[in-house]
Amino acid sequence: MKTTAAVLRSASGPFAIEEIDLPALAPDEALIRVAGVGMCHTDLLAREGGPRARPPIVLGHEASGVVEDVGAGVLGIRRGDHAIASFLSCDRCPNCRHGQPAYCEDFISLNLDGAPQGSRLATDRHGHPVATRWFGQSTFATHAIVSARALVPIDRDLPLEPLGPLGCGILTEPHRCCVR
């Protein structure tokens, strides 16, 4: 599937609006049409040459959108659902199993690499790889592939555009202020 994305080609460089090809959906993924996305300080740090995100990469990790397709193994999310995309977690470590996915033991590798080991990459018009798994979503794009575990369905009557930041800044802020 083709999407238009803001691709970061070099650390501290400008975002280039480009058409890229997304890989096919895995059984546990969903395709969303992005309606709203926030610019988090973590995206800015990555743009400034953060230690893990390597260009070319599509950043963006707090988004809202409409589910356009789902992988064969996805349950609880359907085409047409409105959803908020959040960070990725393993769903296996003790923290995840005890309802603390923000403290996932694999949080850094799953979210800050942009292309965690085993992930499928998008390609640019020349067939070169582009990382599109920043926080499991890379939503500085018109469409994004998101792990179904990272999607939270919301009421269709809510306005999608302003809800993107719920997926990170608002969701994770209580954890920052309450950790002792």
pTM score of the predicted model = 0.89
Q: Are 88 and 110 in contact (CB under 8 A)?
A: yes
Across the chain, mean pLDDT equals 87
More confident residue, 17 or 164: 17
Q: How far apart are CA 48 and CA 43, in angstroms?
A: 9
Which residues are CB-neighbours of 143 under 8 A, at least 6 positions away?
1, 3, 22, 31, 32, 33, 34, 68
| Alpha-helix runs per DSSP H in the chain | 41-47, 94-97, 107-111, 169-178
Q: Which of the residue ranges 3-7, 40-44, 105-109, 133-137 would you say has the lowest mean pLDDT? A: 40-44
Looking up tokens 């999607």 gives 151
Q: Which two tokens stand for residue 65?
A: 């959108």
Give the up-direction half-sphere exposure of residue 53: CA atoms within 13 A in the CB hemisphere: 32
pLDDT at residue 37 greater than cutoff 50: yes
Q: Which two tokens stand for residue 81?
A: 């659902």
Strand locations in the chain, DSSP E?
A: 2-8, 15-21, 29-37, 57-58, 63-70, 82-85, 122-123, 129-130, 143-147, 151-154
Q: How far apart are CA 39 and CA 139, in angstroms?
A: 10
pLDDT at residue 43 greater than cutoff 80: yes
Domain boundaries in the chain?
A: 2-178
pLDDT at residue 118 greater than cutoff 60: yes
CATH number for the region 2-178 comes to 3.90.180.10
The span from the first CA to the last CA of the chain, in angstroms, equals: 45
Instruction: Say what the pLDDT of residue 115 is.
Output: 80
Confidence of residue 59 (pLDDT cuts 50, 70, 90): very high
Q: Which two tokens stand for residue 96?
A: 């995840």
